[in-house]
Amino acid sequence: MTRDTCSPEKSTTNTGVRVLAGQHVLVTGGSEGIGYGIAERLLDAGATVSLAARRPGVLDAAVERLRMQCGDSNRVSGVVADISDADSITAMFETAEGRNGPLNVLVANAGSGSVVPFLELTAQQWRDCIELNLTGTFLCVQAAARSMVERTDENRSIIVVSSIRALGARPSLVPYGTSKAGLNQLVRLTAYELAATGVRVNALSPGITATPLAQDRNNLFDERAATVPMGRAGTPADMAAAALYLASPDSAFVTGTNLVVDGGESLY
């Protein structure tokens, strides 16, 4: 069943006001999985959403789905971007803000990883993961912050999607886990530096999450999901609910935190 993304009873405050009405949100890696789920929920909350992804066909399909659910094509637009490329990131921000105005919320979600035993890992595989997950996210956070500090809007939030793989150790995930651990420290340091400006920076760390990509790449997905203390894998909707809190004025006094959403998976 398709969720009614723009239903007025969803994602509201107790007074019935949609908490992100009039806000411009940019979601990287937003065409599928967690990124798409977050974009859907923030759109539901009234935001105007710029959806960024690398593959034009997949991006166009995601934008069209959101427009159909919402019934307002002016609140959803797509921008093709490769987050491992600095020039592409610059062009992404210019395009998104040129269309939809200054940015209120960045969701830096784009990232990837592969399962490769440490002794078989190549230098190129290491570089590819670090360039996308860590360096690319750093450039996105910096670009968003440079835009946000020039203004005095009440709500200016940067959300970095990390992972609980930064908190523990699993075999064959060296570049991925290292890059995500780096993101957690990036969040802490930038949050401290930007706090006086009113710009908030927080991390969201999912545990195992039921996305098509995760399930396709992990032949042990169901087995591992069953070991989560709450008895299931997370969903994009679970992550999106947490992202909405961090994106909204409800988290106005929250910065530098790492919000773990994993059903207790990181407790063992």
Residue 176 bears catalytic tag: yes
Determine the topology of domain 24-203+239-261 in CATH.
Answer: Rossmann fold (3.40.50)
From 176, 192, 245, 268, active-site residue? 176
pTM score of the predicted model: 0.92
Q: Where are the domains of the chain?
A: 24-203+239-261
d(CA 25, CA 78): 12
Per-residue pLDDT of the chain in tens (268 residues, 90 and over written 9): 344 455 444 555 434 458 999 999 999 999 999 999 999 999 999 999 999 999 999 999 999 999 998 888 899 999 999 999 999 999 999 999 999 999 999 999 999 988 899 999 999 999 999 999 999 999 999 999 999 999 988 899 999 999 999 998 888 899 999 999 999 999 999 999 999 999 999 999 999 998 877 766 666 788 889 999 999 999 999 999 999 999 999 999 999 999 999 999 999 8
